[in-house]
Amino acid sequence: MTMINFTKMQGLGNDFIILDYEEYLHTQKTADELAVKLCDRHFSIGADGLIIVNPNTKNTDIGWIFYNSDGSVAQMCGNGIRCFAKYVYDKGLVNKKEFSVETKAGVIIPEILEDGRVRVNMSKPILTPEKIPVNTENNLNFEVKVSDRTFTANAVSMGNPHCIIITNEDTKALALKYGREIENNYLFPEKTNVEFVKILSRNEINLDVWERGCAITLACGTGACASVAAAILNGLCDGNVKVNLPGGSLYIEWNGSKTDTQHDIYMSGGAEYSFTGQIEI
């Protein structure tokens, strides 16, 4: 058995275990095995995902390896990338406040702000159906049929797929009842994250999310970005939007429109340390 060091962090209640690369190597386990073991809330540390710092990158300042709690790969995680950015900056693994991170969703650029929050350039939303991927002709306002009803949905990828449903109903109740079924709907060949959105004004929305590979979580950064993009493309919100999630609020900026989608999305929010410790593997 081997003892390894870990750090637990959270962004709006979306929580993660962070391992330095050397600690990961000491475990002699695959990353997916390790994610399932460490993220178990009953028999281990417990978290929504596992983040492994990857210093072995050629074209970026640093990289990460990210797995959901069920052992599945996640291309991107908005709350996770903020925690990761704060962690590597505080540990001196990068020596500048704005730096590049290699992820499976491409190169992501976080920036440590003076007030301690992290602002992240999340790149451009992906709106082409086959690249999201979603098996529809158009990514906006298509039908998703579930057991006892049909929803009008929008699909957006932020490096990972999202199905956004704008509604006046109870978003939490809808996420609990229909999240898993929509996640596994045949329209989404790689499954999908599911967001239920209530529009409060042109600059504020409420959001509840069912995360692919995690179920209900307190926050989802990529989901907030995708939801704001969908709301703007439907003419319901403007370019700066406060997104209220169960774990707190994120601030999303996007200058895109139906006629000009080639703008990067920026996400700002907090990242906090929970605790550090050792665990026997």
Q: 134 and 113, same structural domain?
A: no
Average the pLDDT over 111-129 and give the result: 96
- Cα separation, 100 vs 123, whole angstroms: 12
Q: For the domain that residue 201 is a member of, what is the CATH number? A: 3.10.310.10
Place of tokens 């079924």: 181
C-alpha distances in Å from residue 14, one per residue of 49, 144, 155, 216: 9, 27, 22, 10
Q: Percentage of residues in the chain with pLDDT exceeding 90?
A: 97
pLDDT-derived band of residue 74, with 50, 70 and 90 as boundaries?
Answer: confident
Residue numbers of the domain that contains 172: 129-263
Q: 109 and 224, same structural domain?
A: no
Residue 214 has pLDDT above 90, yes or no: no
Q: 222 and 243, same structural domain?
A: yes
Q: 159 and 96, same structural domain?
A: no
pLDDT-derived band of residue 1, with 50, 70 and 90 as boundaries?
Answer: confident
pLDDT score for 75: 86
Compute the Cα dihedral for 178, 180, 186, 191 and give only its sign. positive
Q: Give the tens place of pLDDT for each residue, 26-49.
A: 999 999 999 999 999 999 999 999
Q: 55 and 119, same structural domain?
A: yes
Q: 226 and 134, same structural domain?
A: yes
Q: Give the tens place of pLDDT for each residue, 152-184.
A: 999 999 999 999 999 999 999 999 999 999 999
Q: 31 and 116, same structural domain?
A: yes
Query: Phi and psi at residue 169, in whole multiples of 5°?
Result: -85, 180
Q: Percentage of residues in the chain with pLDDT exceeding 70?
A: 100
Q: 104 and 80, same structural domain?
A: yes
Q: 255 and 146, same structural domain?
A: yes
Q: 171 and 202, same structural domain?
A: yes
Q: 142 and 180, same structural domain?
A: yes
Catalytic site residues?
77, 220
In the chain, the number of structural domains is: 2
Q: 254 and 161, same structural domain?
A: yes
C-alpha distances in Å from residue 254, one per residue of 76, 82, 153, 173: 18, 18, 20, 28
- Quick check: pTM over 0.85? yes
Mean pLDDT of the chain: 96
